[in-house]
Amino acid sequence: MLFIDSLNQLLFPTRCFGCAALGLSICSSCRRDWHPGYYTRHISQLSVHSAVPYSSTASRIILASKEDGLEGADNLIISAIVHVLSKADFDDHNIRLVPIPSSPSARRRRGRNFILDIAGSVGQRSGLPLSDSLELTRRVRDQSGLDATARSYNMQGAFALKKGTYPRGDLVLIDDVVTTGATLHEAGRALRSAGFNVIAAITACHAQPLR
Ligand SMILES: [Zn+2]
């Protein structure tokens, strides 16, 4: 194994996800941009807790995880979410983690269900159960170029409770980034309208909406 590890290092040396410098999966300078803290925003009845402000470093880490499936980048995101969970102090609650569903086309392109994978690892590390209880009801547009109004319109009624699921307890939504909160708002609406209790959302990053 040692030999294979060193061969791997030779062929595929570890590079920083932020700036591609050789060595660590995140170098000390990019660590300054990706340093998990605890930020809270309130988006229409929902407290959204996040670990790091969005930056070009954060954007590269998220892409490396989401689109390239790189384990080191996954780990940075998982640790950031676990960190926020520990700060959020949900001790008196009966928490269940609910991942935000991704579209079938994104799942095919990535070869996996990104947020479900991330939330699953967060659950394993934090000992909290996972409930994959939301599904998309229709196609939604990629939101990266959309402003707040367009995002809200794009997400309206887009999620529903997945058939056969019954997510009891205090639900905490899990996603990679919050921008306007349109996606989280819609996820909260779908679960609450089915009679379930959503208490918060946790994301690795928080970004400023387009104006
Ligand atoms: Zn770097």
Name the one residue in this structure whose structure tokens are 């925003």. Answer: 41
Both tokens of 88, joined, read: 């959020």
The answer to whether the beta carbons of residues 142 and 102 sit under 8 Å apart is no
Distance 27 CA to ligand 1 centre (A): 4
60 and 17 in contact (C-beta within 8 Å)? yes
**Terminus-to-terminus CA distance in the chain, angstroms?**
52
Distance (angstroms) between ligand 1 centre and the Cα of 58 equals 11
pLDDT at 183: 96
Could you tell me the distance, in angstroms and rounded to a whole number, from the CA of residue 149 to the centre of ligand 1? 35
Question: What pLDDT band is residue 142 in, cutting at 50, 70 and 90?
Answer: confident
Q: Which fold has domain 35-206?
A: Rossmann fold (3.40.50)
Distances (CA, A) of 101 to 31, 50, 61: 29, 19, 20
User: How many angstroms does the Cα of residue 81 sit away from the middle of ligand 1?
Assistant: 21
pLDDT of residue 6: 74
What amino acid occupies position 210?
L
> How many angstroms does the Cα of residue 197 sit away from the middle of ligand 1?
40
Q: Ligand 1 centre from 99 Cα, in Å? A: 29
Instruction: For residue 25, report the distance from its CA to the centre of ligand 1, in Å.
Output: 8
State the pLDDT at residue 115.
Answer: 97
CB 122 within 8 A of CB 82: yes
pLDDT value at residue 201 = 98
Residue 9 is predicted with a pLDDT of: 67
| Closest to 203 in 3D by CA, of 73, 17, 72, 36 | 36
Average pLDDT over residues 87-92: 89
Cα–ligand 1 centroid distance for 92 (angstroms): 39
Residue 209 has pLDDT above 70, yes or no: yes
Ligand 1: distance of its center to the CA of 23 in Å?
A: 9
> Could you report the per-residue pLDDT of 100-115, keeping only the tens digit for each?
999 999 999 999 999 9
**9-15: average pLDDT:** 76
The arithmetic mean of pLDDT across residues 47-58, rounded, is 96
DSSP-derived letter for residue 170 is E
Q: Domain residues of the chain, as ranges? A: 35-206
pLDDT digit string, tens, across residues 24-43: 888 999 999 999 999 999 98
What spacing in Å lies between the alpha carbon of 115 and ligand 1's midpoint?
A: 24
